[in-house]
Amino acid sequence: MFEALLITQPESGYRCELTQLDEAQLPASGDVTVRVDCSTINYKDGLAITGKSPVVRSFPMVPGIDFAGSVTQSDHPKWKAGDRVLLNGFGVGETHWGGLSQMARVKGDWLVALPDTLSERDAMSLGTAGYTAMLCVQALQKHWADAGVAATGRPQEADYLKSLGAASVIDRNDLSAPGKPLQKERWIGVVDSVGSHTLANACASTRYGGAVAACGLAQGMDLPASVAPFILRGITLYGIDSVMAPMAQREAAWDALAKTINREQLASITTEIALPDAIAAGSQILAGQVRGRLVVKLKA
């Protein structure tokens, strides 16, 4: 028996609770069983845990869109017992049981070998957020980049953001309202996880020949922009998909993270919680009350 969060949808309504499961209950469609050491709480996990958005597509469901751990049993030719692995995306925590559980059974084709220099905790301190950010960075490496600007809805966090490398910090309200189709050139490269007017304004403020990597839609799925920045300034808009990215791209991103990550900074932004605390954390991350990364420790 092992502990897991389990989402159900009984007649009384949507429910996420801590429960005990048996390995026989794990998805039969997987060919690799993993003892999960660490997972994390992402924004999408918060939506799944609270039911605030229809993230979960089938019930019952174990949430958790990523995890790191060790293989205990494998029918896949690439993996054997003892291999350290990690997983991001591929619908885990949405259509296939995910990582907020001490055990997981998934398809071996979804797994990435955990780099030797990263611990399971490191991997989940980075998590899907760090992996997606690296996909954005690798897309932008085709362009010159200069000192970074961070946008935040919490101006009191300016010093914290500067300690992580931002040269300046702006209020996200400066970007989230409708703006002119072509604005003062401000940056050469942008990573945007917001979409809608924020992405449109980011494109409108990008310097000649610059690029924008779009990886999220926190503000909305719409893009109320014009073609002006693309035609008159020759900017490039990259769409970044982390969920179904090809394995070679995933491996390259994790290899780059392992080689470049500042472990002191990573530790400074990471808070470790236990699995029973993950339910409350789901609501907190949606309310904007979480700073940095939450790692869920699952190994007993």
Instruction: Cite the DSSP H helix spans in the chain.
Output: 43-50, 120-140, 158-163, 173-176, 196-204, 228-232, 247-260, 263-268, 278-286
d(CA 87, CA 97): 12
pLDDT-wise least confident of 132-136, 143-147, 212-216: 143-147
- Are residues 65 and 87 in contact, defined by beta-carbon separation less than 8 angstroms? no
What would the pLDDT profile of 221-256 be if each residue is shown by its tens digit?
999 999 999 999 999 999 999 999 999 999 999 999
Q: What is the identity of the amino acid at 87?
A: L
The mean pLDDT of 272-284, rounded to a whole number, is: 97
Q: Examine the pLDDT at 33 and tell me if it is beyond 60.
A: yes
Q: What is the identity of the amino acid at 23?
A: E
Burial 221-237 (b: 16+ CB within 10 A, else e): eeeebeeebeeebebbb
Who contacts 227 (Cβ-Cβ below 8 Å, separation ≥6)? Answer: none
* Secondary structure letter of residue 150 according to DSSP: E
- Are residues 108 and 222 in contact, defined by beta-carbon separation less than 8 angstroms? no
144 band by pLDDT with thresholds 50, 70 and 90: low
Q: What is the pLDDT of residue 142?
A: 73
d(CA 35, CA 104): 7
Q: What is the pLDDT of residue 155?
A: 76
Q: What is the pLDDT of residue 135?
A: 96
Q: What is the pLDDT of residue 146?
A: 52
Nearest Cα to 5, choosing from 282, 296, 279?
279
Q: What pTM did the predictor assign?
A: 0.88
d(CA 185, CA 206): 5
- Are residues 269 and 292 in contact, defined by beta-carbon separation less than 8 angstroms? yes
147 band by pLDDT with thresholds 50, 70 and 90: very low
d(CA 84, CA 87): 11
The mean pLDDT of 119-147, rounded to a whole number, is: 88
Structure tokens at 205: 């403020």
Ramachandran quadrant class, 105 (left: phi over 0; alpha: psi -120 to 50; beta: rest): beta
What would the pLDDT profile of 35-85 be if each residue is shown by its tens digit?
999 999 999 999 999 999 999 999 999 999 999 999 999 999 999 999 999
Q: Give the CA distances from residue 106 to residues 86, 254, 297, in Å, rounded to whole numbers and listed in that order.
A: 11, 19, 19
Domains observed in the chain: 2-118+262-297 (3.90.180.10), 132-239 (3.40.50.720)
* 3-state secondary structure at position 10: coil
Structure tokens at 270: 């990471």
